[in-house]
Amino acid sequence: MSIVVPSDAAPATDTPRERGAHLLPGGAVHFSVWAPHANDVAVRIHDGPAAGDYVLTRGVAFEATIPGVGAGADYSFLIRDADGVPRELPDPASRWQPAGVHGPSRVVDPAFAWTDGAWRGLDLPDYVVYELHVGTFTEAGTFDAAAAELPRLRELGITAVELMPVAEFPGGRNWGYDGVHLFAPQSTYGGPDGLRRFVDAAHGLGLAVVLDVVYNHLGPEGNYLEAFGPYFTDRHRTPWGRAINYDGPDSDEVRRRVVENARYWVRDFHMDALRLDAVHGIFDLGASPIVREIGEAARAAGREAGRRVVVFAESDQNDPRTVRDAAEGGLAMDAQWADDFHHAVHAALTGERTGYYADFGDVGRIAAALREPFVYDGRYSPFRRRRHGAPSVGVPRERFLVSVQNHDQVGNRANGERLSVLLDRDQLRLAAALLLLSPYLPLLFMGEEYGETNPFLYFVSHEDPKIVEAVRRGRREEFAAFAWSDEVPDPQAEETFRRSRLDRAKLADPRHAALEQLHRDLLALRREEPALRPGAAPHRVTHLGDDGGGWITLQRGEGDDALLAIFNCSAVERSVPLPASAAGGWTLRLSTDATGYGGEGRLTARIGHDADATEPRRLPGREAAVTLPAWSAALYQRDSRGT
């Protein structure tokens, strides 16, 4: 390694708290890289007046401050290990990879003309999440193009937009879970400033932004961390290979990396929430779990900026400790995904029973998921062939997020089918009502609101042929348990990616527009009715089993504010009794069978009245009843008028 050391290069005297390249006043840049596997490290400045190679001083990390570099300069690290072979690699804490995962890193100026100074974030119960993939959300597939669509989402009733991972990944086509540069927003999406413009635009519309972050693994291509230090361990195994070293020798700096990353997204990009991917794949046997430290760091960064920041966790463990406080031995996440709700609705409406859907299927599982987020709360799971989960009784409902579609449940099907091609339209409307009238935080997957029929497939754009073939083989093996078709679309093909783009032209079709109107009206009811706010009021669920009717009632709130949702989860119309204690009857607020939503309009406006009356009539001594069409839902409000 031939290194030129200009006389004006100087080691750091005031080390920034984070690794990477940090712009200082006057254009100097401080470089800091943790690389215990290296014998020596230099930084190569590729362009500008400071171009050249500079030796870094070894301490806990290799560091130096180089004058005259300035923002926009490209650089790499030159490292030499015990074998004496020099390698030129990107910065493990790079803020921008304009030439992709293998190229040089770029110095970024963190300054930005933010206009969101008055934004303070959302309270947790107010989250209505819309998950999107930047690359397929629009034809252009950029942050700026996605920002142009935000006004429509706000008008729909969305309050928070969740971005699938945007950390730099190989090529331009990827879900984002193959990211390898955790601090670098994807270059093909628009890089750091593109992401900042997106967040600023969202806040200007009153929308929060949730960022999906992946701390349980890194992608296989462009992952150079092992050349720098012991970032991985064989002490644990994950579905994606070697685990990240959060609890072994030299793990302090590895932990520091992800804690800094969580703080960085909140501080430098004004994120309102982080969604931690698959925390069950984060292995840490230490006394202070890294997941909890990540949450604490993100929330602290929010408090410093005067904003409310929350942290969501994805977990398949059905473990309420994920959201319990640290004093109770929990991970102190603000909320967690509750997949049993999705599985119960999907299996009951589609009839699928393969894979994990074998644990679901009957309408009673939907009723159970409406009562408590974990259907499997310690009971035996036939699919897992063991007991699964623990009770969530007593945990506030706003601590759980549910969906009937998301990127995993759609994209991890062999052919990426959405519910819009698996269900009839009346069933689609019923699924929307189950989701948006549930007592939990709801998540919609992009295009769900209008019944997008384009698939959401799994796609990649790797350069390494061995990795490409491994991905193809892995996808085929993954689908074996579901007995899905062997004809899996090629993840590497650009056509697979193109087929996954949304087609908003479908909104010109009255059928799609009607479904969007249903979502719009359901979301308006959530805003207008206090009893529908998660955690605001008690809820009660009753269910008549499949043999006797297959319907569910869900009462939200008490007294004059009570709302009663009725769900007919069967293929025939059902007569459903309403509570006899209601003085004067119930008023219909919404029916998924209304003609404006594409239904046949078979419900009257009031229950407990004469057909031609304008005032309600009490029915003492017996229950009122409503006849619900097949696969439909209705929402009634208690009407205390009359005698």
Amino acid at 62: F
Q: Is it the case that residue 607 has pLDDT exceeding 70?
A: no
Question: Residue 75 domain-assigned?
Answer: yes
The 3-state DSSP composition of the chain as helix, strand, coil percent (nearest 5) reads 30, 20, 50
Q: Is it the case that residue 546 has pLDDT exceeding 50?
A: yes
Select from 106, 134, 157 the last residue of a domain.
Answer: 106
Domain hosting 545: range is: 535-638
Which has the higher per-residue pLDDT, 587 or 101? 101
Q: Is it the case that residue 13 has pLDDT exceeding 60?
A: no
10 Å CB burial of residue 322 (0-12, 13-18, 19+) is: buried
Question: Residue 88 domain-assigned?
Answer: yes
Grouping H, G, I as helix, E, B as strand and the rest as coil, residue 433 is helix
CATH at 24: 2.60.40.10
Average pLDDT over residues 428-451: 98
pLDDT band at 615 (very low <50, low <70, confident <90, very high): very low
Q: Is it the case that residue 567 has pLDDT exceeding 90?
A: yes
Question: Residue 583 domain-assigned?
Answer: yes
Average pLDDT over residues 447-474: 93
Q: What is the pLDDT of residue 16?
A: 53
Question: Residue 617 domain-assigned?
Answer: yes
Residues 6+ apart with CB under 8 A from 7: none
Question: Residue 613 domain-assigned?
Answer: yes
Question: Of 323, 328, 321, 275, which Cα lies nearest the Cα of 298?
Answer: 275
Digit-coded pLDDT (tens) for 300-339: 999 999 999 999 999 999 999 999 999 999 999 999 999 9
Question: Of 152, 156, 174, 104, which Cα lies nearest the Cα of 496?
Answer: 174
Q: Is it the case that residue 479 has pLDDT exceeding 90?
A: no
Select from 77, 106, 135 the last residue of a domain.
Answer: 106
pLDDT band at 340 (very low <50, low <70, confident <90, very high): very high
**Which helix (H) or strand (E) segment is 323 a member of?**
none
Contact yes or no for 633/565 (Cβ under 8 A): yes
Q: Is it the case that residue 614 has pLDDT exceeding 90?
A: no
Question: Residue 615 domain-assigned?
Answer: yes
What does the DSSP assignment read for 258-310?
A: HHHHHHHHHHHH--SEEEETTGGG----SSS-HHHHHHHHHHHHHHHHT---E
Most confident of 78-87, 474-483, 529-538: 529-538
Query: How far does Cα 603 stand from its chain's mean position?
Result: 37
Catalytic, out of 63, 277, 408, 521: 277
Average pLDDT over residues 169-191: 97
Which has the higher per-residue pLDDT, 342 or 618? 342
The DSSP secondary-structure symbol of 10 reads B
pLDDT mean across residues, the chain: 91
Q: What is the pLDDT of residue 6?
A: 45
CATH at 607: 2.60.40.1180
Q: What is the pLDDT of residue 481?
A: 61
pLDDT band at 461 (very low <50, low <70, confident <90, very high): very high
Digit-coded pLDDT (tens) for 504-541: 999 999 999 999 999 999 999 999 999 999 988 888 99
pLDDT band at 618 (very low <50, low <70, confident <90, very high): very low
Among this protein's residues, is 372 annotated catalytic?
Answer: no
3-state secondary structure 23-61: ECHHHCEEEEECCCCCCEEEEEECCCCCCEEEECEECCC
- Percent of the chain surpassing pLDDT 70: 91
Question: Residue 464 domain-assigned?
Answer: no
From edge to edge, which strands make up the β-sheet containing 29-33?
20-23, 29-33, 62-66, 57-58
Select from 106, 141, 168 the last residue of a domain.
Answer: 106
pLDDT band at 606 (very low <50, low <70, confident <90, very high): very low
Q: E strands within 372-440?
A: 380-381, 386-387, 400-403
| Of 252-256, 566-570, 572-576, the least confident | 572-576
Catalytic, out of 314, 352, 372, 452: 314
Residues 6+ apart with CB under 8 A from 53: 2, 3, 4, 5, 42, 43, 44, 45, 78
3-state secondary structure 93-162: CCCCCCCCCCCCEECCCCCCCCCCCCCCCCCHHHCCEEEECHHHHCCCCCHHHHHCCHHHHHHHCCCEEE
- Percent of the chain surpassing pLDDT 90: 81
* Pairwise CA distance, residues 131 & 143, whole Å: 14
User: Which pTM value belongs to this model?
Assistant: 0.94
Contact yes or no for 492/461 (Cβ under 8 A): yes
* Pairwise CA distance, residues 79 & 553, whole Å: 65
Q: What is the pLDDT of residue 8?
A: 47
Q: Is it the case that residue 4 has pLDDT exceeding 80?
A: no
Question: Of 18, 150, 186, 36, which Cα lies nearest the Cα of 93?
Answer: 18
Beta partners for 21? 31
- Give the CA angle between residues 493, 210, 172 to the nearest 5°: 20
Domain count, the chain: 2
Q: What is the pLDDT of residue 611?
A: 38
Question: Residue 46 domain-assigned?
Answer: yes
* Pairwise CA distance, residues 269 & 438, whole Å: 32
Q: What is the pLDDT of residue 620?
A: 32
Among this protein's residues, is 260 annotated catalytic?
Answer: no
Beta partners for 29? 23, 66
